[in-house]
Amino acid sequence: MTVQSINPAAAAETTLRAAAAKAGLFFGVAANPNRLYPIVGQEFSQLTPENAMKPDTIATSSGGLQNTGGADQLVNHAQSNNMLVKGHTLVWHSQAGQLQGASQGTLNNFIGNAINRWGSRIAYWDVVNEALEDNNTGRRRNQWPHTMNRDANGDGDVFDSGDTDVIRDSFIRARQVVQAGGFTTKLCINDYDVEGLTVRGGTPNRKANALYDIVRNYRQYIDCVGFQAHFNDNPNSIITDDLQANIQRFADLGVEVHISELDIDDDLSNNDIGAGQAENYRKVVRACLNVAKCTGITVWGISDSESWRSSERGLLFTGGNGSYQKKAAYNAVLDELNRGRTTTTPPPTTPPVTPSVPPTTPPVDPTTPPPTTPPVTTTPPNPTTGCTATVSLNSWTGGFVATVRVTAGSARINGWSVQLTLPSGTTVTNAWNANRSGTSGTVQFSNVSYNGAVNAGQSTEFGFQGTGTATGLTPVCTAS
């Protein structure tokens, strides 16, 4: 049952920050030092420096700091207006400035200097930004700093303890600095075109799945995930109906999810910046509000004319230079925030997932512990051969997301399949990290090219989304 979390008779708030606070999240804006108009503190409760904390502005070639005046101004402004700050960004292939081509040691030096300079005045840091390729390949980028990655054992990933992974190593360094300083700062990974489970045409969102694997494997270091949400008419950048399900999928790992750089191209509403664009904003905000661990939304600028994508007219205001006019999208967002979150009968949650090979650094307790509800159903364990499978569900009225974990027995397996018999009326609408034989009744899921080989005692995961209910599933795992 779905119930509105606020009293419908309660007086509506008149600013985005007040309405968001009542709903239990922040509503923020990206800003530059020359645009700290009164509206910033009046309407928004969180601030992300749009450019002033990027390495090309503040990093020296040795990983030291320089030119921090603009960043300091933004942090001071936020503090004086009771706003959270998200630092953006520490490790990025673009706008790297003097850090371009630097070693991991130099990156670690910069990470330490930046985190220590502002300490807990920064509530969140984007530690790694845009690590994954464009065009829905699901692969890491092939330019610096990701050229430092090394797959030592040749198993097709860089998650193992002997591998070199700039993502893992950067987060380990950031976690060490936060702990040593006693800071409350949370550590985020941020990317775009990762918002839905699918892209246009129903194709699985392989980029989102790759990000999910990163967060799942490095959960002990990562506190939060940013979905940039630069929505436009690129097939991989549209607003899909499974946005909420994907937010929930990440939330079930125990991390906070942020809509971190939101703007919505008017092409998605046939160039209508009135009711059409407003409805698109309403969908995105509601998807966040419906997931408890979606804890913040940040728009990437104040007005269309001041946006990095000004021709696409994707923000909440027109006007500029401190004189702004609210668009229909503003009113839609304010209305959704005033409606508040919804609550549902709590579904089973995904259990914490152990990386396929333990990390070399001892795990660090995350700020927010991952869910601890055990899997819903299991195959009777066979401790010596073959494989076993467990299913965890996140359910809502009329739909669900299932996560299936396949574990090898005492011997390595080179392939696997999992058979599930779905309840009558239940249909699979999407799957990731597995092939499937059908959409209803008895469905066979089998490994794809990159996850068939599983070492003894280790695990891999796949998932699927469906309509109807999925209670009582009993998976049958077969190894090859």
- The rounded mean pLDDT for the chain is 88
Query: What type of residue sits at position 313?
Result: R
CA 403 to chain centre: 17
Structural contact between residues 120 and 185, judged by C-beta atoms closer than 8 angstroms: yes
Which residue bears the tokens 């990163």? Answer: 214
CA distance 67 to 55: 10
CA distance 66 to 53: 10
CA distance 430 to 464: 6
DSSP state of 347: P
DSSP state of 98: G
Per-residue model confidence (pLDDT) at position 434? 83
Per-residue model confidence (pLDDT) at position 361? 38
Question: For residue 420, which of 476, 358, 361 has the smallest C-alpha distance?
Answer: 476
Per-residue model confidence (pLDDT) at position 432? 72
Per-residue model confidence (pLDDT) at position 352? 32
Residue 85: enclosing H or E segment and its boundaries?
strand 84-92
Per-residue model confidence (pLDDT) at position 351? 33
CA distance 221 to 173: 9
Q: Which of 159-173, 276-290, 424-438 has the lowest mean pLDDT?
A: 424-438
The two beta strands, 459-467 and 427-432, are antiparallel
pTM: predicted TM-score of the whole model, two decimal places: 0.74
405: which 2 tokens?
């974990």
Per-residue model confidence (pLDDT) at position 450? 65
Active site residues: 130, 261
CA distance 454 to 29: 44
pLDDT band at 467 (very low <50, low <70, confident <90, very high): confident
- Mean pLDDT (whole number) for 236-260: 96
Structural contact between residues 475 and 404, judged by C-beta atoms closer than 8 angstroms: yes
- Mean pLDDT (whole number) for 200-225: 96
Per-residue model confidence (pLDDT) at position 342? 77
Residue 440, C-beta contacts closer than 8 angstroms, at least 6 positions apart: 422, 426, 427, 428
Write phi, then psi, for 468 (nearest 5 degrees). Answer: 95, -150
How far CA 53 is from CA of 100, 219, 239, 300, in Å, comes to 15, 25, 29, 15
Per-residue model confidence (pLDDT) at position 430? 74
- What's the half-sphere exposure (Cβ side, CA atoms, 13 Å) at 402? 32
Question: For residue 366, which of 148, 171, 122 has the smallest C-alpha distance?
Answer: 171
